[in-house]
Amino acid sequence: MTLTLALLALSMPLLASKEGIVTLDRLHIESHGIGESGPIVVRGTQTPNGMTSLEVDAFGKTIKLSPDQLKELGIGQYNLIQLSYERGYQDLGGRTIYVKLSKAFTSREVWSALVIVTEDGKVKISKAPKDAA
C-alpha cells in the first residue's frame, strides 16, 4: 500500500508557482554615507532595453553616466541595487563609491554590473557574466 501511494505521488504532476523578477522603472536611493564618504544619492531610470539614465551624487558633486557608459550596463532591467564605499588611496583615485546593480531571484543572481565612481569623478563599469535566466 505504501509503495502504491509513493508511486502514485511520483506520477502526479507537480504544482508549484514560479518566482518572477519585478524590475525597477525608476530608482532613487539616499544614504548619509559612512566615514568620510559623505551623503550619497543614486538616481536612474530604465526600460526593458536597459538603463536610460544613472547619476551618482557623492563627494560634493554629481557624476552622470554617459550614453556609452549606460550601454556598457547592457540590455535588460535590474531589480536590485547595493551601495558600498572604500576610503581608497589618493594616487589611485581616492574615495570610491560602488553601485552594484543586479537582476536576481531570491535564490540566485542572474547577472549584475558594478558601477565604480571615484572621488575624481571617473566612472568604470564592471560586469558579471549573464546566467541562463
Task: DSSP for 63-84, please give it.
Answer: EE--HHHHHHT-SS---EEEEE
Q: Does 101 score more than 80 pLDDT?
A: yes
Q: How far apart are CA 111 and CA 132, in angstroms?
A: 9
Q: Which residue has the higher pLDDT, 80 or 91?
A: 80
For residues 6-25, one letter each, b for 16 or more C-beta atoms within 10 angstroms of the residue's C-beta and e for the rest, the string is eeeeeeeeeeeeeeeeeeee
pLDDT confidence bin for 129, thresholds 50/70/90? low
The sign one gets for the Cα dihedral 89, 91, 95, 101 is negative
Flag whether pLDDT at 106 surpasses 60.
Answer: yes
Q: What pTM did the predictor assign? A: 0.81
Provide the pLDDT for residue 4: 60
Average pLDDT, rounded, for the chain: 86
| Tens-digit pLDDT profile for residues 17-76 | 888 888 889 999 999 998 888 999 999 999 999 999 999 999 999 999 999 999 999 888
Do the Cβ atoms of 111 and 91 come closer than 8 Å? no
Q: Is the pLDDT of residue 5 over 60?
A: no
Cα 109 to Cα 104: distance, rounded to the nearest angstrom: 4
Report which of 65, 70, 66, 61 is spatially closest to residue 119, judged by C-alpha positions: 61
CB 122 within 8 A of CB 70: no
Question: What would the grid cell of residue 26 be?
Answer: 525608476
Neighbours of 38 (CB within 10 A): 17
**In the structure, what pLDDT confidence band is assigned to residue 1 with cuts at 50, 70 and 90?**
low
